[in-house]
Structure 1
Amino acid sequence: MTQVNPYQAPVASLELGVEESGELATRGQRFKAVLVDLLTFVGCGLIAGIGVPLQKNGSTMAGTLFVSLAVLAGVAILIYNLVLMSRNGQTIGKRSIGIRIVRQNGDDCGALRIIFMRALPIALLAGLANIVTHTQGAGQLVNLIDVLLIFRASHLCLHDNIADTMVVVA
């Protein structure tokens, strides 16, 4: 019979929970997913970019149409990404690559955790760095440090650590 010491420090497992949730996504898979997500929004910017010169050259109706379509497309993509994130922890890019965001214990991760625990803290930290230093570079450095932490053995970025999330193969 083993006696339990009531004054003993608690013991916690520091494993990432990969066994419960599947294989961790590779750095390359995560990078490709981010590129796909960026390209979807860049497409909206290109559409708007066509409309702005049209407005300046007198074709205000055509220019307004292009800009309006770009804004509507951007909003539609944003809403679709939010729906995908709330259903299965994916964006358009993550879905196309076959990866998803889960909690480090393997549980599903809702859209609110992704937005308020993964994205918002890094954005606030980058914005604060810009304000304190009066430069854009400080915020970009925060974002760079966030993503470069993926090269640790755990393959987790800073936003993953903050939100208790990881990206796995779907």
Structure 2
Amino acid sequence: MDDTDNRAKHNPFAPPATPVEDAAVEAGDPAGRGARLIATLLDALALGALTLAVGLFGSVTALRFAAASAMAYVVGFGVPFLLFIVLQAWLLKRRGQTLGKAAMQIRIVRTDGSRASLTRLLALRTIPMWLVMLVPVVGPLAALLDNLMIFRPSGRCLHDDVADTMVVCA
């Protein structure tokens, strides 16, 4: 072996030869069923409180200035619902949490532990279930099935399976 071969093996300017593996992303501990239930109830209470606050003020104002009760209904229920959806979407995009999940210190992630995008959360996890629930007879049964699936060993609901997400402790 000559000196040139030896220098090639010990070149100080060569890139490191040590293999580096990507760090695994941990999903965290799955959130308990009770925490998930309370978070859902808190979300419903927050929507109800916002609807009551904006709805009462908006409906009274709309009825005072316009005789159209449809406008009062839109202002009373549509505006608070849209405000709530925008707030929840902002929280989901920013932190993977809704108001209720933030209060219960849990969040939604992908099953590999990575952050779930807002598109995934809305387009795969939320909107399809809402649309199915609008179908008479089938909708309530689908909602019941979705919620009962939390009692599987994985603790994931049907909407979690569809979106490849899970709820973990934050």
State the TM-score, normalizing by the size of structure 2.
0.71
Q: Runs of 5+ in structure 1 lacking a partner?
A: 1-18, 131-135
In structure 2, the partner of 1:10 is: none
In structure 2, the partner of 1:123 is: 130
In structure 1, the partner of 2:36 is: 30
CA contact (8 A) 2:50 2:84 kept: no
Match of 1:43 among 23, 39, 49: 49
What is the DSSP-based 3-state SS (H/G/I as helix, E as strand, rest coil) of the residue aligned with 2:40?
A: helix
In structure 2, the partner of 1:160 is: 160
Out of 43-52 and 23-32, give the one that drifted further: 43-52
Over the aligned positions, Cα root-mean-square deviation in angstroms equals 2.9
Q: How do residues 37-76 of structure 1 correspond to structure 2 at under 5 angstroms?
A: 37-47=43-53, 48=55, 52=59, 54=60, 60-61=64-65, 68=75, 71-76=78-83
In structure 2, the partner of 1:143 is: 143
CA contact (8 A) 1:88 1:109 kept: no
Q: How many residues align structurally? A: 142
What is the DSSP-based 3-state SS (H/G/I as helix, E as strand, rest coil) of the residue aligned with 2:108?
A: strand
Q: Runs of 5+ in structure 2 lacking a partner?
A: 1-24
Q: By how many angstroms is 1:99 displaced?
A: 0.4
State the TM-score, normalizing by the size of structure 1.
0.71
What is the CA–CA distance in structure 1 between the aligned matches of 2:33 and 2:81, rounded to whole Å? 27
What amino acid does structure 1 have at the position aligned with 2:44? L
In structure 1, the partner of 2:108 is: 101
